[in-house]
Amino acid sequence: MAKHYEELIPNPVVYRLGEGIGHWPQLEDQAGVLAAFSAFMRTV
């Protein structure tokens, strides 16, 4: 879905987590989710 979104939307902002992250990213990659959230918060 993210790849398709990037193809459709001009200048998309997409935060990607590591490979193999599934339905519970906040449990599977806590550091990655926190880093993505922090990066997002710096933009608002």
User: Which residue type is seen at 11?
Assistant: N
Domain carrying residue 25? 2-41
Q: For residue 34, give the DSSP letter.
A: H
Mean pLDDT score, 2-25: 93
- Kindly indicate the confidence band of residue 10, based on its pLDDT and cuts at 50, 70 and 90: very high
CB 37 within 8 A of CB 30: no
**Is the pTM for the entire model greater than 0.85?**
no
The pLDDT of residue 5 is above 90: yes
- Kindly report the CA angle at 36 between 31 and 40, in degrees rounded to 5? 145
CA distance 33 to 23: 13
What distance in Å separates the CA atoms of residue 13 and residue 32, rounded to the nearest whole number? Answer: 16
Give how many domains the chain has, as a whole number.
1
